[in-house]
Amino acid sequence: MRANPLCRMSVLALVALVTGSRADAQTSVSGNDWNSIAALPDLSGSWLYDPHRTQVATGEPVPLTPIFAEKMKKVHALNVAGGDVPARAYHCMPRGVPEVMELITRLYEFLETPGLMTIIPQNNEVRFIYTDGRGHPDHLRASYSGHSIGHWEKDEAGKDMLVIDTIGMPAGIDMFYGFPAGGPMHVVEHLKLLSADKMEVAKTIEDKVTLTAPYTYARTYTRHREWPVLEEICVQNNHDVSATGHQQFAPPPPGLGPFGPQPHNTNKNNNAQ
């Protein structure tokens, strides 16, 4: 008995639809197993942020709403005058996304595992980027690092780049160093290798309270394969404050090194516990 041609066509169409959907899922969700990781650009290892002068320092035009444009002018003027920019970092507060990715003279460890990219900054604000195809949860508790999901795309030149989408940060954390955001931010980062040990991270920030339009800028990082990420505990020195009440760090005396015995600090500001 011969099969009905129409039934056979319907079955073939269904098989094609199912297998096609699976293929699409496999190509759109990369990095969810060791084989796919091996075929992607290697971002693992220790990366050092290449210092840039921030928007606050340069007075770079940013599409700010009128209220926040005035705030930016005040912070920029304070920076030019050599005053203390009121950054959260002065008080050992978490920086949060996106500002945590601009730690000067600090390393970032990138760990690639199936379904997850982990970024460990030297200040311990660990970021988990889920690359297993999940979306953002419907109900999300605000956190400094937010909730990040990632996937791989091709850039204009056909090179693979990791796209990280982050939401869920509380309003009031720094958008730029010393410049807090007015509303909840949505941050999209595009990470790609420029050379074997040079990476670019292009960030796009959306914040309808602070910005009149999405704002995009780029930063670069250099990989140092032989450098380990050292422990850093900011709160160990947060009682050493300036006359204006901001945290300041004094280098250890010559010869002691970072792990040598530390002399007792007699600064009167250290009496508070």
Residue 34 included in any domain: no
> What total number of domains does the chain contain?
1
Backbone angles phi, psi at 92, to 5 degrees: 60, 30
The per-residue pLDDT for range 105-163, each reduced to its tens digit, is 889 999 999 999 999 999 999 999 999 999 999 999 999 999 999 999 999 999 999 99
Whole-number CA gyration radius for the chain: 23
Residue 183 within a domain: yes
Determine, yes or no, domain membership for 55: yes
- Is this model's pTM higher than 0.85 or not? no
258 is a domain residue: no
Classify residue 237: in a domain, yes or no: no
Q: What average pLDDT does the chain have?
A: 80
Lowest mean pLDDT among 10-24, 72-86, 108-122, 137-151: 10-24
pLDDT of amino acid 234:
79
pLDDT at 82 (0 to 100): 76
Output the CA torsion sign for 79, 83, 86, 89.
positive
pLDDT recorded at residue 245: 58
Inform me whether the pLDDT recorded for 253 exceeds 60. Answer: no
Q: 153-187 b/e with 16+ CB inside 10 Å = b? A: eeeeeeebbbbbbbbbbeeebbbbbbbbbbbbbbb
> Looking at residue 237, what is its pLDDT?
56
Residue 272 in any domain: the answer is no
Q: Is residue 13 part of a domain?
A: no
Using CA atoms, how far residue 262 sits from 13, 170, 253, 258, 265, in Å, is 73, 37, 9, 9, 8
The type of residue at 201 is: V
Query: Containing domain of residue 205, as a range?
Result: 45-223
Cα–Cα distance, 153 to 192 (Å, whole number): 10
User: Which residue from 215, 248, 217, 271 is spatially nearest to 89, judged by alpha carbons?
Assistant: 248
Domain contains 157: yes
Percent of the chain with pLDDT over 90: 56
pLDDT digits (tens, 9 = 90+) for 48-69: 999 887 777 777 789 999 999 9
